[in-house]
Structures are given as C-alpha cells and as structure tokens.
Chains A and B, each alone.
Chain A
Amino acid sequence: MYQHDGEEIFVIDAHVHLWDATTENIDHDGGEEFIQCFYDYHTTFTPEEREWSIEEYRKYGPDRMVEDLFGNAAADMAIFQPTYLSDFYVEGFNTTEQNAELATEYPERFVLNGSFDPRDGDEGLEYLEDLHETYDIPGVKLYTAEWRGESKGWRLDDEEAFRYLEKCAELGIENIHAHKGPTIRPLNRDAFDVADVDDAASSFPELNFVVEHVGLPRLDDFCWIAAQENNVYGGLAVAAPFAQNRPGKFSEIMSELLWWLGEDRILFGSDYALWNPDWLVEEVLEAELTQEHRMEYGVEWDIETKQKVMGENAAELYDIDIEEKRRQFRDDEISREFDLGDHYASEEPAAADD
C-alpha cells in the first residue's frame, strides 16, 4: 500500500507479464527483435541506476517478479496479461499457463487473464472454454498484430472475432484488453489501428474494452472512440513512464485522457518487466500536471483521481473488494515474506471524501 500525501493508495498493477525470451526459447528472428525492441523501451524510460541487463531481462523468473512487484509494497495486486507470440517463441513468450505458475501460488495477489486468437477457429473457442474452466479467467489480453503463418494480424471487428467475444460474454469473461500501442517491429502497423475497438465495444456493451497503451501513437483515435463508448477504458502502460523522463509530456497525455475519458476509465499498468512498479508507481504518483495544462483542460491529478487510476478503477472492473484485500494482506504469505504487515495495519482507511 503506497503512502502518498498522508493518504493510502491501493495499487493494482493492471498489466504485468512473466516472460521467457531466452535464446533457447526463440524460434524466429522476430522473437529476438521483439525482446530487443522491448529492451530499448526499457532503457529509454528507466532511470539509469534501475536498468536491467539484457540477460536478466530475457528471463527473470517468478521469485524476482514477486519481489519487484510487491517487495516494497509499490503494488498491492497485479493482473497478468499474456502475450503468446507462439510463432516467435518455442514455448510462447508469456502464456496463461506460464503466468498461472505464480497466479495459483498467490491467488490473493494476482489476477490471471487468458487470451484468444480468432484465427484458431473452433479449436480456439475450445481453448478459451478450457481457460475459463481451469482458471476462471475474468479477462483476456489480445494481440491483434500477432503473426500467425502468412497472417500478420486480425481485427476485433472481424466476424470470427465476434464469435469469440460472444463466447466471452456467455462465459462472463468481461474484460477485453487489446494491445493497441507503439509499433513493435516486426508487427504490422495496421493491426494496431484502434478503429476496430469502436464496433466491438458498441456491439458488446456488456463487455469492457481496455485499450492498452492508450493507443499511442493513435491517442487521438482512441480518445475519440472512448469519448463515445462508455465501456472503453485506457491502460496507461507505456504512457506512465513518461512521468519519469518526460514530465511535461506526461502532464499533457494525462490531461487529454482525463478530459476525454474522465477519471473513472483510466487504469495504471507498469507493463512489468518493461518497467518496474517499484520506481514507476512513485514517479506517477509524484507527477504533477503543469499549471498551464490544468488551466487549459480544467482537470486535476489529485489524490482522489490517483486512487481511482492506480487501483479503484481496476478493482471495479475485476470485482476486487479493496477493504477485504487490506484485511487479507495484513497477514498473507507475501506480507510475511517481505514484512509488509504494517502497510495494511490501519483499522480504517483515511476517509476518501476529504
């Protein structure tokens, strides 16, 4: 639990991965290019003294992950977002099954999402049902730009994708996280177009669509869609680390998001291990909107907004009872391991209305 300006902030890191990009697991040049590109993002936005070496970055393993996420209580919970990339990596880059290793060990701390790929046809639908059956996944992370044989991607408004979304609605898999972000070589640009979210979101009002990376560099298209579809949310992964080395730009992006989406539809995510929450959460919480942007947009990055963006909005989507969690975390395995009991000790949270 993060203490900020005398208030407690329950942080749900809504975008984390446990990946394996070791050379033995790479099956295609794209796999090596993918991790190298991630690493450039990592070094671009990470404070120099907190940077990892490329070797650690390829595979960090579950113990390190738990420590990085929870060791200093920067994050209280985390949501796994798998990225299969099965044409690039022998065992996949970051699959539901790999993530499940930790998620089942610490079920109170992790939320485990699954994934689907409509190009898998009926077999894929069965796989989705299996994931639901085995892990009771509350959401999916989708990579519309993933290569699969000759295909360089798919769209959320494809007829075939709609079959999968119908299945999600039927099974109660409510949270659809679509990666719509920076062009990551070697993925196709067009498949990161956000326009397909529009039709999907209006066709499935019972589902929530979280556009990861707030569509950067298609922030304008994303905000325009989100302004019209109230079941569209923005995930801050990639936008968040601007707080560290481009504070003016962070202020501007946050101002736009708060203006177009409002404070209830923005979710924090570190994108671990692209970036570590142990420094990123602090950077984001300490960030300020410039006076100029506050005047121009009429929005605030104040304590209530921070509480929502950093945890409450994700809690709402994932039916997480924050008060219940606080009680549970006074003495769960992770609090004991890292001696965090005190973080959750206070009887009542500071009143949220002052």
Chain B
Amino acid sequence: MTGTESDGSTSEPSRTAVRDRLDRVTDPELDRSIVELEYVDRIEIDGDRVAVEFTLPTAWCSPAFAWMMAVDARDEIESLSAVEAARITLSEHMHEAEINRGVNEDLSFAEAFPDADGDVAAVRAELDEKARVARQYDAVETLLEAGLDAEAIVALRPRDLERPEADGDDAAVAVYVRDRSFAVSVPAEPIERYLEKARETDLVSGPDDVLFRTPEGEPIDADSFDLVHQRGRLAQVNMSSQGGICDGLREAREGRLEEPADD
C-alpha cells in the first residue's frame, strides 16, 4: 500500500523524493507549493507506480488552474527514474471527472474540455509572468538590503552571480557589481527562485541577458526602478489577496460540508 521499505530488488521511489517533486508544483495563481498549501491529501507508492490525491480550496476553482496542477504533479513525479507511472486524482471538484480522465489518459486540455475556447498555454504563460514579477520583488529586496543601488541592480546579468560549490539551504550567492570590481554576498533562495521563473518565461536564458525586467519583460531604466519595484510588490499583494479568498472559501466549504444541512 503506502511506501514500504524497498527490498532492494525493485527500485521503488522514496516518499521523500515524491514529496520533493510535488513540492515543485505550484498553485499557478498563488505561486505557492501545493504541498505547502496542503492541497495534497495522500501519496501512495506501489513499486514503480505512484498515486497522488489532492483537493483544492473550492469545487469551482478554475478548471484551467486545477488542470495545470494535476498535469504538473504527474509530470514531476514521472520525471523520477524509479517511477513508471503516476496516477493523479483530484477530489471534490466540479470538473474532477474531466480532469482525472484527461490527466491520466494523457489528453490535452482541449481534448479533456471540448467546450473550452482553447488550450491553457496562454493562461499559464500569463500566470508565470505574474509569478516572475512577484519573485523579482523578493530578489530585488534582498539586493537592496545588501546595499546595492538601483543602477547596480538594473545592470545585473546572470554572469554576475556566483554560487559557491558548497550547497545548502542557507547558501549565499555572490553578486558582482561595477564591472566585477566588488561582490556582495546575499541569501541565495530569493535570487534562485526568481531565476527559475525568469528562465521558465524565457526572459533570461544566457549569461549576458539582463536579469531584472519590467512586468512587460523589458530591461529597466534606473529612473523607473522604484516604480517597477512597486509593481512587483503589487503583484505579490494580488497573489496573497487571492490566497486569502481561497483560504476563506475552503473554510466556508469545509464548514458547509461538515455541518448537517438542517437550517
């Protein structure tokens, strides 16, 4: 049933490995891990097969968003070499049948939802872009706290970042500024979280690309740095406000389902 110790003859994935993979799946609107958000209800490992069950805050959570999370969970888990197939089950959603069938039979969104106007790629790209802007805010805050000014920050490129070999959760990144005349050391996490989304959105691919951008994807003038930074803050507030609504709706629904409907 659940992930028992491997006897060595089969290479069963570890529960930790599966969880770590799921941790990379985000609610695309909130840009937070589905594990952290407690959407994941159950993980079952049976040899090289993994089954995951998850629930969203409301039954009418956007089908497109639910779809993205289900597909991402499947793809993340199946990227583990010890996994042959992942089975994803979304529960208590108005479109659970379409989503579960589509994800587990490898259909496209348009195939799973014949009524939909098209695929989810555009919606996903838009949400990724918002997530990138919100993450940029944290990365830039980190650099401002380290004493860098607007001019130095807008000029940064990936080649100016150096990650020491010794990895760890509390690792730092060295940021070289002023034509590598000096470096400051900053916490790695916000910078790397930003880079991850900047790469996903194809804004930063090579070592010489400008690291930070406006929400429209353009390099930033030092003059408009403050305004762009404020827009990053706004993107975060937008996400966390929506998170507040989702949390509230989840509580309301749980309350409604738990109470006998006698009033």
Contact = CB atoms under 8 A, between A and B. Distances in A.
B234 A256 contact: yes
B146 interface: no
B241 A40 contact: no
Contacts of B58: 37, 40, 185
Nearest to B248: A44
Interface in A205-241: 216-220, 223-224, 238-239
Given A185-B94, A216-B238, A219-B238, 9 more contacts: A33-B60, A43-B256, A44-B251, A182-B245, A185-B59, A186-B60, A238-B245, A252-B237, A260-B234
Interface string A176-220: 000000111110111000000000000000000000000011111
A7 to B, nearest CB: 29
B249 interface: yes
Interface of A: 33, 37, 40-41, 43-45, 53, 152, 182-186, 188-190, 216-220, 223-224, 238-239, 242, 245-246, 249, 252-253, 256, 259-260
Nearest to B230: A259
Interface centre among A183, A220, A256 (most CB of B within 10 A): A220
A223 to B, nearest CB: 6
Given A40-B256, A43-B256, A44-B248, A217 B60 contact: no
Contacts of A186: 60
Nearest to B118: A190
A44 B64 contact: no
B252 A189 contact: no
B7 interface: no
Contacts of A53: 263
B125 interface: no
A189 B237 contact: no
A217 B256 contact: no
B235 interface: yes
13 contacts: A43-B256, A45-B248, A152-B117, A185-B58, A185-B60, A189-B123, A217-B29, A217-B245, A224-B234, A239-B241, A242-B241, A246-B244, A246-B248
Contacts of A185: 58-60, 94
A219 B249 contact: no
Interface centre among B58, B233, B235, B244 (most CB of A within 10 A): B244
